[in-house]
Amino acid sequence: MKSTALTLNGAPVLGKFGKGLNGARSLSFGTSGGRNCNPGCAYHPRSTSAHAAPDDRRCYAHTVENSARRPQLLAKLQRHESLDPCAVLERAAGQLDRHGWRIPWFRFCTFGAMPEPVDCTPEFVLLLRWFIGKLRAVGTPVHLPVETARKATHYRRILAGIDVIVRESCGSPRRWRTAPVACSFVAGSMQSTPRERIAEAKRTARLRAAATGRIVKVCPAVSSQHLNTKSTAAKCGGCTLCAEDVDIVYPVHA
């Protein structure tokens, strides 16, 4: 695949994020709650889900990118959203060509979501398979979350044969207890203390493990932030659980 320009309006296409190890990178295709985000997601700012999350658990990414302190981030995400998804992937590939594909961690969609199935053209599918395949070939762990069961099924189908876990973000307690494949869930309330949120996440993890027999873990990166500890092993890349076939509970966070 031929890679193109590394930046859009001078901004690197790939991003960094606080929960990741130094060198970890992310790629977002647009805004949170924007054209790629399915309104059936329980955390969508205008959710149509019967299980829509309460206001204190709505999409934290939407809150972050719309903060008055982050105008450049929102502008960058809006630029990405205005482009064909292939163009965003091609620019990301160009950046990785220059700086190396072997990095501690690669995360899709720290903001926004993967393109909706209707936007997954044959060209995009081929490019995405090549892109993830190249990351995995050099040992880079990849986190690929999607917001609905239907979307997760779609991405598992188009990425069949590629060594990557497509992780469904469950929008209801019932789906969390019954989903048969890799998934995640957000537990707790922002009205609770950080320690109470972690305790609720552990309880939520036990419920799914008992119901399904699957391995379920609480995200150490979020837990570490809640407890204000500084652990390299807890950061994304030090921990690789989200790239593995296990289930994850995230204590609710802003």
pLDDT tens across 195-231, in order? Answer: 999 999 999 999 999 999 999 999 999 998 888 887 8
Chain-wide mean pLDDT for the chain? 91
* pLDDT-based confidence at residue 41 (cuts at 50, 70, 90): confident
Confidence of residue 7 (pLDDT cuts 50, 70, 90): low
**Among 251, 182, 254, 253, which residue's Cα sits nearest to residue 214?**
182
Q: What is the mean pLDDT of residues 130-149?
A: 97
- pLDDT of the residue at 36: 94
pLDDT computed for residue 2 by the predictor? 47
**CA–CA separation, 235 and 220 (whole Å):** 7
